[in-house]
A and B are shown apart, each in its own frame.
Chain A
Amino acid sequence: KQEVTQIPAALSVPEGENLVLNCSFTDSAIYNLQWFRQDPGKGLTSLLLIQSSQREQTSGRLNASLDKSSGRSTLYIAASQPGDSATYLCAGAMFSGGYNKLIFGAGTRLAVHP
């Protein structure tokens, strides 16, 4: 069974803290890993995409790493701000029947308070 697990399910931190969100996957057929942000009741915004040939990707205060051998990815958020409050989802891409699809984790709900 294809599974993507995210830990922790929820996180509440004061502004300014550095954070690590974890994602693990069981299927070695996952060939890239993507992190999304979702605001309440809204669609998904792609943050970072890491191909299996890459180890990490960076965008501003965000850094994501991928270790395919251990089936793990982490999203690092530096100097968190209240505007970072959202749900963060990781998704693994895999081929099925010759075409790709995304397998999502349940997300980590992040609250950053002033």
Chain B
Amino acid sequence: DAGVTQSPTHLIKTRGQQVTLRCSPKSGHDTVSWYQQALGQGPQFIFQYYEEEERQRGNFPDRFSGHQFPNYSSELNVNALLLGDSALYLCASSFSGSPDTQYFGPGTRLTVL
């Protein structure tokens, strides 16, 4: 079992660009949550996907959007990048029947110049 995987590992973009980050959940998991972790801070909840729908969202602007595919993998899209979007983006997966057990991926380090 490969666990939760994320790609790419690192990414450098410039202000105004758009970025797509990808996450494959742990085998058997059907729910994916995304978190943003700024340097020196704890992760902040962005949104959660289940059955290909966003079912709850944190305090993030509409520039942040996502998608979940039939195989449960997920994408996080960020439009009109700002310098403040530089962070480690973490994906967590869980099984809907056991939502308290979340497994985190290694993260994608996004740097916006």
Give the B-binding residues of A (Cβ under 8 A). Answer: 4, 6, 32, 36, 41-46, 49, 51, 89, 91, 93, 96-97, 99-107
Contacts and interface: CB of A to CB of B under 8 A. Distances in A.
Given A41-B88, A43-B106, A104 B44 contact: yes
Given A104-B44, A107-B42, A43 B104 contact: yes
Interface residues of B, number: 27
Contact of A44 (B43, B44, B56, B100): B43
Interface SS, B side: strand
Contact of A101 (B33, B104, B107): B33
Interface SS, A side: strand
B54 to A, nearest CB: 11
B37 to A, nearest CB: 8
A44 B88 CA distance: 11
A110 to B, nearest CB: 14
A93 B103 CA distance: 14
A103 B44 CA distance: 7
A40 B77 CA distance: 25
Interface in B60-88: 88
B56 A42 contact: no
